């Protein structure tokens, strides 16, 4: 089983929405995902409670339980665990990082937002854990995304594609859907499917 953790010690980066939609995209691609909400705010878990479609399972857990939970899911045949984490708890985030096969750092496409992720990058680097930025809530057009992402791209730590700010993301999380279910043929759905392909490729390496 592969473990994907969405981590950013800065709030408001869209971790929960991305976790939900990545889980659905993985399921649609033939994976057997399990979504775990480690954030006391419970946004991802609440999304799961609103969800009426079958799968993927969503549950809450404490970081202290994580190792045992992941071992149990692996034995039950799940192929992907998607972890949504708390923004401010540095100690808890570090434990999640140790368990992650890939850490995704959602960030809005501005230099201040990327710079605010420096503590997260430092912790991941110290633990020698693979990571990549997901530039989220990007304007559909404009140069800011390119400017903010250029250095990350050169370093090889930028996931593709950028995830643009579209109403489908807000609608999907409110309805208990993944964005690929909200509008199957929409631009937001295409971006998330492409992001899953990128994630899967990185995990397979």
Q: Domain spans of the chain?
A: 2-105+166-204
Between CA 85 and CA 102 the distance in angstroms is 14
pLDDT at 147: 66
- CATH number (3.40.50.12160, 3.40.50.300, 3.20.20.70, 1.10.3720.10) of 2-105+166-204 reads 3.40.50.300
Q: What is the pLDDT along the chain (205 residues), one digit of tens a residue?
A: 999 999 987 666 789 999 999 999 999 999 999 999 999 999 999 999 999 998 899 999 999 999 999 999 999 999 999 999 987 655 667 889 999 999 999 998 888 888 888 888 888 999 999 999 999 988 887 555 566 677 787 777 899 999 999 999 999 999 999 999 999 999 999 999 999 999 999 999 8
pLDDT at 106: 93
Between CA 19 and CA 40 the distance in angstroms is 15
Which of 74, 77, 80 has its CA nearest to residue 28? 80
For 113, phi and psi rounded to 5 degrees?
-65, -40
pLDDT at 94: 83
DSSP designation for 87: S
Claim: this prediction has a pTM higher than 0.85: yes
Which of 51, 71, 53, 75 has its CA nearest to residue 61? 71
């Amino acid at each position: 089983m592969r473990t994907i953790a969405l981590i950013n010690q800065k709030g408001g980066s869209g971790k929960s929405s991305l976790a939900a939609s990545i889980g659905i995209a993985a399921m649609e691609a033939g994976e057997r995902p399990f979504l775990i909400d480690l954030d006391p705010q419970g946004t991802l878990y609440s999304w799961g409670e609103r969800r009426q479609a079958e799968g993927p399972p969503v549950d809450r857990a404490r970081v202290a339980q994580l190792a045992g939970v992941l071992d149990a899911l692996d034995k039950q045949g799940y192929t992907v665990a998607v972890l949504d984490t708390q923004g401010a708890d540095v100690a808890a985030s570090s434990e999640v990082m140790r368990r992650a096969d890939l850490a995704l750092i959602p960030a809005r496409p501005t230099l201040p937002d990327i710079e605010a992720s420096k503590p997260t990058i430092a912790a991941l680097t110290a633990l020698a854990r693979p990571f990549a930025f997901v530039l989220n809530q990007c304007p559909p057009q404009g140069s800011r995304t390119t400017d903010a992402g250029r250095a990350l791209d050169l370093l090889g730590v930028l996931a593709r594609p950028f995830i643009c700010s579209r109403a489908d993301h807000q609608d999907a999380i409110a309805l208990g859907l993944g964005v690929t279910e909200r509008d199957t043929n929409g631009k937001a759905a295409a971006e998330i499917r492409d992001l899953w392909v990128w994630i899967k490729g990185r995990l397979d390496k």
